[in-house]
């Protein structure tokens, strides 16, 4: 990672008040969010169902921040064009769901989106080796996907370090997703992550601007 790069904070709207989703997105944008993270679940790859196309499309008009859809779905190839159509800018797919991962990542890029390669905590990192160079970012999961508000799995730090080694000098970024809060965001950065997904760690606060500032102050940006 280029250390001059700013840390990006990506609120996961799964933890927001979904009855007021548009307002919640505007509020986190005002608080300084960089990216809006949407968790897409199909009840098959993960044991939960979340949101889909009409919701993403309806809130596309409230902000110009990039939309990042994290596809926790089987057979994601069937839906790549639809995510582009509803306004997604970044799209991550799980290595566990993609038998032809290079084709999938390249199709996402052809559609004009940034391509993310996500991996579950229990999957061998060596499974990324043949695909890493096609990804714009790698998503290291620090919980088993399916639910917000789960406990952070500390093995993620070593996994980030390992992925950072594999990336070498290329510009591929590392997103960490699951259980990130102000007390561990600094350690995630130190391990090599530069895109921080934060769900309950932000939305459970009553003051998003203060919490966002406190998250940023817990990273190296505080000393720049």
Q: Can 136 be counted among the known catalytic residues? A: no
Q: Can 134 be counted among the known catalytic residues? A: no
Question: What is the distance between the alpha carbons of residues 175 and 43, in angstroms, rounded to a whole number?
Answer: 23
Q: Which residue's Cβ lies closest to ligand DX5? A: 199
Question: What is the binding site for ligand DX5 (CB under 6 A)?
Answer: 12, 14-15, 37, 39, 70, 143, 145-150, 177-180, 197-201
CB 188 within 8 A of CB 153: no
Closest to ligand DX5 by CB, 15 or 163: 15
Q: Which residues pair with 138 in a beta bridge?
A: 117, 174
Closest to Zn ion by CB, 70 or 173: 70
Question: What is the binding site for Zn ion (CB under 5 A)?
Answer: 39, 70, 177
Active-site hit among 34, 39, 42, 194: 39
Select the binding partner of residue 198 from Zn ion, ligand DX5, none (C-beta < 5 to 8 A, by kind): ligand DX5
Active-site hit among 34, 42, 68, 177: 177
Q: How far is the CB of 92 from ligand DX5 (least distance, A)?
A: 9
Closest to Zn ion by CB, 39 or 194: 39
* First-last CA distance in the chain: 17
List CB contacts of 23: < 8 A, sequence separation 6 or more: none
Closest to ligand DX5 by CB, 7 or 198: 198
Q: Which residue's Cβ lies closest to Zn ion? A: 70
| Residues catalogued as catalytic | 39, 177
């Amino acid at each position: 990672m280029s250390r001059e790069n700013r840390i990006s904070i990506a609120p996961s709207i799964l933890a927001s008040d979904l009855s007021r989703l548009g307002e919640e997105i505007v509020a986190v944008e005002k608080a300084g969010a960089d990216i809006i993270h949407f968790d897409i679940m199909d009840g098959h790859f993960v044991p939960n169902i979340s949101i889909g196309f009409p919701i993403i499309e309806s809130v596309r008009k409230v902000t110009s921040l990039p939309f990042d859809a994290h596809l926790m779905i089987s057979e994601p190839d069937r839906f790549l064009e639809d995510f582009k159509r509803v306004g997604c800018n970044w799209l991550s797919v799980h290595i566990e769901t993609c038998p032809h991962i290079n084709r999938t990542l390249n199709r996402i890029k052809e559609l004009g989106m940034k391509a993310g390669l996500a991996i579950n905590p229990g999957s061998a990192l060596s499974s990324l080796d043949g695909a890493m160079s096609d990804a714009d970012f790698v998503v290291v999961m620090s919980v088993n996907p399916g639910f917000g508000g789960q406990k952070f799995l500390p093995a993620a730090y070593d996994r980030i370090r390992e992925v950072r080694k594999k990336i070498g000098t290329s510009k591929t970024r590392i997103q960490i997703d699951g259980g990130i809060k102000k007390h561990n965001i600094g350690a995630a950065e130190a391990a090599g992550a530069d895109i921080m997904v934060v769900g309950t760690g932000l939305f459970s606060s009553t003051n998003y601007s203060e919490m966002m500032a406190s998250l940023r102050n817990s990273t190296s940006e505080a000393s720049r």
